[in-house]
Chain A
Amino acid sequence: MNLAYSAEYERFRTEVRRFLGEHWNEAPSGAADSIADLTGAHVRTDARATAFRLLAIERGYLYRHVPRRYGGSEQPGDPLKSTIIAEEFRRARAPFEIMGQGPSMLVPTLLEHGTEAQKERFIRDTLLGTIRWCQGYSEPGAGSDLASLRTRAVLDDGHWVVNGQKIWTSNAREAEWMFALVRTEPEKAKHDGISYLLIEMNTPGIDVRPLRQMTGDADFNEVFLENARVPADNIVGRRGQGWVVSRSTLKHERALIGGAHLTRRTFDGLVMLAQAVERGGRPVIQDPVIRNRLAELEARLVAAEYHGYRLLTLSARGNDHGLGGMVTKLYSTTLGYDIAKLAMDVVGDRGLLAPGEPNAPAMGMFGLAYMWSLGVLIAGGAANIQRNIIAERGLGLPRDARK
């Protein structure tokens, strides 16, 4: 056990810092913070950011898992270097890899299953953010049981004719393209009848309607498809193989420290809130009940932080994360909820004021975090689905009966 980086990695860090110092010397703007970071809203794709990204790719810092011929930097796998790059880019507030489902889900899928033409057409522009993607998976009747999806596509004169409805589609209004799961073989068993299609969002017959969530904002959409005609070669993988295609695991090393970093910042914000808010003429943080709860949360936060280092070490040694990797989503979303809830208790009665209300402590932003803590608990595999995965694959308990 050694928490210091070796000389080789310290040299690498120095090199990354020098690169950032030379090529990204913009004064950090104080404005971009937690909520924007959480939603990825701060990701810049203007000309200057794109020029910087191209330089960083050239130097081998971004998209290390993607071959050079498709716009990546094609570096040997090295989780420690990836972590150092992520840390230093974050510190400099420099444009990093584009967040979102295009780079994180579509690109690995195309790398594994796409045709040469698909790779050349989409990957580079996706990595630079000039093509933005949304994900057409969930449907009103197909949430946790995704494979029961009913949007259908029928081949007609060189085109797939798509009819159906997708829901919970983030970024559908901004995205130029959607990668979608559709049913092409209605006679086959449910997992075997699905295909993976790339659908241009300006195709006639596509109607995007914002879906207002409990926070009052509309970060999701419904996407209606009515006789939308999609060129036949926009299928990724073979007909009926869409389920397998969509399971492409992320091949690139994820910077594992990143998640706990955001939670740490939220927690530090909570401590500042408890120091600033007064009750009975004293800062709330002097209340032993609040101190006790803060310390309880911090133990879990430190556990999450060093759990990240443990998983990183497993990766660096070439080992699987096993059970340790399966629990991270449930653990961090539960912790996020408990932090937001304590923040609500710290502000006490003023917690009933709405996010954005100037008279609310911290503009009521903790109220927003409180509601979003539910959103992230559900999105991307709801908590009970996570529990099933942990119990079945992690602990070896019997699988649920499924039809």
Chain B
Amino acid sequence: MDFGLSEDQVLLKETIRRYLGSECPTTRVRAIMESESGHDAALWQGLADLGVPGLAIPTPHGGAGLELLDLALAAEELGRACTPGPFLGCAMASAALLASEDSDAKARWLPAVASGRAIVTVALGEEGGVWDAAALTTRARDGRLTGRKLLVPAAAVADAILVAAQDGDGPGLWLVERGAPGLEVAALRGTDMTRRVAAVTLGDAPGVVVAGGRRAIDRARDAGLVLLAADAYGGARRCLDMTVEYALTREQFGQPIGGFQGVKHQLADLATELEPALSLWWYAAHAYDHIPERLERHAALAKAHLTDLYDRAARVATELHGGIGFTWEYDLHLWFRRAVFDRAFLGDAELHRLRAADLAGW
């Protein structure tokens, strides 16, 4: 019985934190988010060289052969540093490909994602708040796709998109390559400027089926839910840390504001909610590889709970900073915006709580 991180996992976190500390300060985050593409190939390649996108990809496919928990620890650090990039799309696409039985697609794309040579993402969401395989309206017929996918992460820089659609047999995933005829990618302005999204329109676009049935879609979604929870935890923790530091240095009425109980107690309440929540997403991540029958429900609970907490943490942090926290120049809004993404992407907290209630058999 051991519910804690291994030495290797602690080292992994430290390595990523150190790398992002030197390579991804908020000055660079701002430069990337204000750029046209929102993508910094050098930064992503640096993370790939550390092994980040391939952490949970098996070694025969060029990854480190670790588990979703390890990938989620990376997500926590990326969230902590508010790191821009295609991490989420690549991680969900890898999870989908790993659930596929298409060995050609795996051989071609997984090593490329792991090494940073290719960016692959997943197009799941559709108009009307649809994130479930059973409700998709995008249609596949004879290797051609038609439909409109919304809020596709990193689509504008992706070499390939795994499109969730339905054919006569039900849901599945089709791989559409960049530049395919009939594929249109229209960038959307997001509140979170560190993770770009686009609308993807498919007008009889050619796609190769890589997974039939809903399993690969569900694996991608569940991986995404856990990684969003981890990102939210990392971001929320950073908001708490930044605010504690600020409260120790900012003086009003002749003393650091951190000495006032009104401030102390708000921060204590935040810490009290955050500290046990860590174990919720650790458990969901662990379930992904070890307790499949508990994965869906706990991934849903973790995503709903952690992203709600992230919102609260970013709010409390901004409030306690006072006016400076509301300015563009001060960095807090980067996390505040990221919390907006984490809450909404893949469906909001209420959607996942209602799913969790159904899955509990209530």
Contacts and interface: CB of A to CB of B under 8 A. Distances in A.
Interface of A: 1-6, 9, 80, 83, 271, 274-275, 285, 288, 291-292, 294-296, 298-300, 302-307, 309-310, 312-314, 316-317, 323-324, 327-328, 330-331, 334, 384, 386-388, 390-392, 394-400
B256 to A, nearest CB: 6
Q: Which of B2, B3, B268, B350 has the most CB of A within 10 A?
A: B268
Given A292-B350, A306-B279, A396-B248, A1 B6 contact: yes
A275 B362 contact: yes
Contacts of A387: 261, 264-265, 268-269, 272
A312 B1 contact: yes
A310 B286 contact: no
A314 B4 contact: yes
Contacts of B280: 299, 302-303, 306
Contact of A291 (B69, B255, B267, B353): B353
Contacts of B248: 396-398
B268 A303 contact: no
Contacts of A3: 1, 3, 286, 290-291
A397 B255 CA distance: 12
Given A285-B362, A310-B4, A317-B4, A397 B264 contact: yes
Given A305-B279, A310-B282, A334-B272, 14 more contacts: A271-B362, A292-B353, A292-B354, A296-B305, A309-B279, A310-B3, A310-B4, A323-B275, A330-B268, A388-B268, A390-B272, A395-B244, A398-B255, A400-B261
B254 to A, nearest CB: 12
Contacts of A394: 268, 271
B258 interface: yes
B277 interface: yes
A308 to B, nearest CB: 8
B276 A307 contact: yes
A299 B305 contact: yes
B301 interface: yes
A310 B259 contact: no
B97 to A, nearest CB: 25
Contacts of B354: 288, 291-292, 295
B3 A1 contact: yes
B302 interface: yes
A299 B2 CA distance: 21
B4 A330 contact: no
